[in-house]
Chain A
Amino acid sequence: MGKKDIDFNRLNNISKKSNVVLNIILAVYGFLCVVPLLLIISASLTDEKMLAIKGYRFIPEAVTTYAYKYIITNTPQVVTAYGITILVTLVGTVLGVLVMALYAFPISRPDFKYKNFFTIFLVFTMLFNGGMVSTYLIGVNVLHFKDNLWGLIFPYLMNAFWVIILRTFYKTNIPDSLIESAKIDGASDFTTFFKIVFPLALPGIATIALFAMVQYWNDWFLASLYINNPNLAPLQYLLYQLQTSMQYLLQNSGNIGGRAGDVLAKMPSESARMAMVIIGVGPVILTFPLFQKYFVKGLTVGAIKG
C-alpha cells in the first residue's frame, strides 16, 4: 500500500490500534469467504486415488489436470450444457436489460401522466405473486415452457426491484433540464433515451446487467421445472442432477445391488465433478473486476437516494 493511499490529513480517524484490529477482523472474514473455493480448486487438481485416501486438502499432493481433460473429451454433455448456459445468459441479459431500462424511463419522467399507475403495476409484483404452483402450471400449459429455452429466459426478464433502482438512477443522475433541452431541439423520446439517458446511466445499467447475468448463469430452478430433454439442460442443472443421482445411488445401493456399483463407476469421478464445478463458476469470477468498477456507484446510488 503506497503512502498516497492513506490520508494522513484526516484528523478525524479511529486510533491506530483500532485500525489494526479492524483490519485483522476484515482480513480474516475476507479470507474465509474465498478459501472454500480453494478447497474445490485443489480437489479438481488432485489425483482421484489421493483424494480417496487423504480427503479434501487445500494443497493438492499429486497435481494433475486429468479431471479437466477428462470432462472436456469424455463428456459431450458438459460441452452442450455449457453452450446452453452461455446462450441463455447472453440472450437473457441483453433482452432483460433492454426491457428493464426501457420500462424505467417513462416512470422516471415527472411529466408522464401515467407514471404512478405503471410504477404501482410494477411494484405490486414485488408484494404479491401467484406462487410456485400456479406459476408452474401456467408456464407449462399456457406459455409452453416445457423443453423450451424461453422457459429459462422469459421468467427473469423483469425484476421490479432492479427497475426501481434504474428509475431512481435516471432521476438522480440525469438532470431534467438535459432531457427538456433535447426535446426542444426536436429529439424524439427514443432518441433521447438511446443518445442521452442510456449513456449517462451506464453505471446503473451495467450493474443491473451484471446482476442479471449472474442470475441467468447460476439458475438451476427454472431448468428443474421445465427442462426434461438432456440436450437443453444448462450447466448448473447438470451439476444438480449429478448430485441427486449420486445421492440416490449411494442411498439405494443396497436395494439395487451390484448394478448400482456399475453405474457409480461410470459416473464422473469426484475430482472430475469438482472440475465441473470450477468450470461452472469460471466466467462469473471473470466479471468480478467489472463489477467492482460499477457496483458501488451503480446499485447503491440508485437504491438509496430514492
Chain B
Amino acid sequence: MSKDSVGILKRNDIDIKPSHGFWYELVKNKALFLMLLPGVLVLLFNNYLPMFGIVVAFKDFRFYDGSFFSSLLKSDWSGLRNFTYMFSSPDAFVFIRNTILYNLAFIITCTIIAIAFAIMLNEIYSRKLSKLYQSAMFLPYFLSWIVFSYLVYAFLSPDKGYVNMSILKFVGVKPVFWYSELKYWPWIIMIVNAWHWVGNNCIIFLASIISIDQEMYEAARIDGASRWEQIVHITIPQIMPVIIVMTLIFVGRIFNTDLGLFMIVPRSSGILAPVTWTLDVYVYNTLLRNGDIGMSSAAALFQSVVGFITILAANYAVKKIDRDAGMW
C-alpha cells in the first residue's frame, strides 16, 4: 500500500485528454450521467438546499403565506442579533466546552484503544479466536442509542439497577443516585462511547494491518528484530496513513456530537445538563422543545462553519507535516 493511496481524492486523479464541451460529453456518456442523476437529486435536496437555508440565522424568521423560501425573503434581516443572544447566555460557553472536550477525549481514547486491540487481534495465534473476539467487540455498534440507554439504565437505575442492587449492596456501599450525580457522567459518557465505537474502529485498523506486506516482517526477523520491535517499527508506521485519515475525520467532526449519546443515554435529565449538554443537544432542544428558530439556527450555523474551518485547518496542518497524508 503506497502512502498516497490513502486519500479520498487522489492527487493524480486529474487526467489530461483532448477536451470536448459539456453537451458533447452529456450525449456521449448519457448513461453515466443517468447513473449519477438519482444521487445528484438526493444531494441537491438533502444537502445543498439546507446550505442555502442557513440564511435563517441572520433573519427574524416568520412564516408568511406561500412557500418557505418566500417567507425567508419576506422575513426581516436581524443581522447578528441571533448570535449575540446565543453567546450572551453563560450556558453557550458550557455547551461549546463540553462539545470540544468530549470529542478530544473520544479521539484520543478510542483511537489508542482501537489500535491496541487491532494489534492484539493480529498477533494472537488462533485466527478463529481472533474472529470470535472481533464479532463480540463489534456487537455494540449494531445497537441503537435507544437500546443503549435501556442497557445503561439496567445498570444504573437507582432502585433496580445492577450496580446499586448487586455490586454496591455486595460491598456494602450506599446506593448512588446515578441520574442526578454530575461528577460520574463524564466517565459514564466516555465509557459508553468507547463501548459503542471501539469495535468498529478496531476492525478498520485491523484490516489495514492485514494488508501490510508480510515480507517486511520476514526481513525484519532475519535481521534479528523481536516481534515487539516489528510492531513498533513496521506495523505502526505502516498504518500511520490510516490513523491520520481517521483522526482527521474525527477532528473535522469536533463540533458535532451524537445526540443519542448525550441526550438519550442520560435520559434527558435536566440536572445533568451542565455535563451532558453539547451543541447538538442545545440546538435540538431550542428548536423542537422551545421552537426558537433564531437561537437554534445561530448555534447550528456556528457549528457548521467552525466545523468546516476545523477540517480545512486540520487537513492543511497534516499536509504541512506530510505532503501525501491529507484527505485531499
Q: How far is the CA of A27 from the CA of B132 in the complex (A)?
A: 9
Contacting pair A274 B150 (CB below 8 A): yes
Q: How far is the CA of A33 from the CA of B304 in the complex (A)?
A: 33
The answer to whether B125 and A131 have CB atoms under 8 Å apart is no
Known A127-B311, A220-B260, A306-B7: A113·B19 in contact at CB below 8 Å: yes
B267 close to A243 (CB less than 8 A): yes
Q: Which of B188-212 contact A (CB under 8 A)?
A: 195, 199, 203-204, 206-208, 210-211
How many pairs of residues, A versus B, come closer than 8 Å at their CB atoms? 341
Verify B5–A56 contact, CB threshold 8 A. Answer: no
The SS class assigned to the A binding surface is helix
Contacts of B204 in A (CB 8 A): 299-300, 303-304
> Interface centre among A123, A134, A221, by most B CB within 10 Å?
A134
Assess whether A5 is in contact with B126, with CB atoms less than 8 Å apart: yes
Answer yes or no: A148 CB below 8 A from chain B CBs.
Answer: no
Report B-chain residues with C-beta under 8 Å of the C-beta of A301: 207, 211
Please name all residues of chain A whose beta carbon is closer than 8 Å to the beta carbon of B301 when the two chains form the complex: 131, 134
Are A243 and B264 in contact, CB atoms less than 8 angstroms apart? Answer: yes
Q: Does A284 contact B (CB under 8 A)?
A: yes
A203 surroundings in chain B (CB, below 8 A):
none
| A193, B124: Cβ atoms closer than 8 Å | no
Q: Assuming A30-B136, A193-B35, is B13 touching A141 (CB within 8 A)?
A: no
B46 touches A26 (CB 8 A): no
**Contact partner, B304, options A32, A126, A131, A239, Cβ 8 Å:** A131
User: Contacts of B10 on A, CB cut-off 8 Å?
Assistant: 306
Nearest-neighbour CB distance to chain A for B263, whole angstroms, equals 10
| Contact bitstring B223-252, A, C-beta under 8 A = 1, else 0 | 000011010000000000010000000001
- Give the residues in chain A near B117, CB-CB below 8 Å: 26, 29
Instruction: Judge if B108 is at the interface, Cβ distance under 8 Å.
Output: no
Counting CB contacts under 8 A, is A121 at the interface? Answer: yes
> Known contacts being A14-B123, A54-B165, A119-B9, is A102 close to B36, with CB within 8 Å?
yes
- Residue among A10, A157, A164, A225 with max Cβ neighbours from chain B (10 Å): A157
Q: Does A6 contact B (CB under 8 A)?
A: yes
Which residues 127-154 in A have Cβ within 8 Å of B in the complex?
Answer: 127-138, 141-143, 154
Chain A 187-211 interface 0/1 with B at a Cβ cutoff of 8 Å (1 = within): 0111001000000000000000000
Contact with B along A206-246 (1 / 0, CB 8 A): 00000000100111110011000000000010011001100
Chain B CB within 8 A of A66 CB: no
**Which among A32, A103, A154 is the interface contact of B46 at CB below 8 angstroms?**
A154
The answer to whether A281 and B300 touch across the interface, beta carbons within 8 angstroms, is: no
Query: CB within 8 A of B51: which of A130, A193, A240?
Result: A130
Within 8 A of A (CB), among B260-284: 260, 264, 267-269, 280, 283-284
A27 touches B133 (CB 8 A): yes
Q: Which residue of B lies closest to A96 (CB)?
A: B42
Interface residues of A in 109-126 (CB under 8 A from B): 109-116, 118-123, 125-126
Please tell me if the beta carbons of A137 and B160 are within 8 angstroms of each other in the complex: no
Instruction: Compute how far the CA of A6 lies from the CA of B271 in the bound complex, rounded to whole angstroms.
Output: 53
A 86-114 to B, binary, CB cutoff 8 A, 1 in contact else 0: 00000000000011101101110111111
A303 to B207, CA, bound (A): 10
Residues 290-318 of B at the A interface (beta carbon under 8 Å):
293, 296-297, 300-301, 303-304, 307-308, 311-312
The residue on A at minimum CB distance from B39 is A103
Return the contact of A220 from the options B46, B145, B218 (Cβ within 8 A): B145
Binary flags per residue of B41-84, CB closer than 8 Å to A gives 1, else 0:
01101111111111011000000000111010000000000000
**A62 CB–B CB distance under 8 Å:** no
Which B positions have Cβ atoms within 8 angstroms of A?
1, 4-10, 13-15, 17, 19-20, 22, 25, 29, 31-36, 38-40, 42-43, 45-54, 56-57, 67-69, 71, 117, 120-121, 123-147, 149-151, 154-155, 157, 159-162, 164-166, 195, 199, 203-204, 206-208, 210-211, 217-218, 221, 227-228, 230, 242, 252, 259-260, 264, 267-269, 280, 283-284, 287-288, 293, 296-297, 300-301, 303-304, 307-308, 311-312, 328
Q: Which residues of A contact B (CB under 8 A)?
A: 1, 5-7, 10-15, 18-19, 22-23, 25-27, 29-34, 36-37, 39-40, 43, 51-52, 54-58, 98-100, 102-103, 105-107, 109-116, 118-123, 125-138, 141-143, 154-155, 157-158, 163-164, 188-190, 193, 214, 217-221, 224-225, 236, 239-240, 243-244, 247, 270, 273-274, 277, 280-281, 284-285, 288, 291-292, 295-296, 299-301, 303-306
A-B pairs with beta carbons under 8 Å apart, 18 shown: A1-B129, A18-B227, A36-B151, A51-B160, A106-B29, A110-B15, A111-B17, A114-B22, A130-B54, A131-B283, A131-B300, A133-B296, A154-B46, A189-B35, A193-B35, A225-B288, A277-B147, A305-B211
Closest 9 CB pairs of A and B: A130-B50, A300-B207, A55-B165, A131-B300, A30-B136, A218-B144, A103-B39, A134-B53, A141-B68
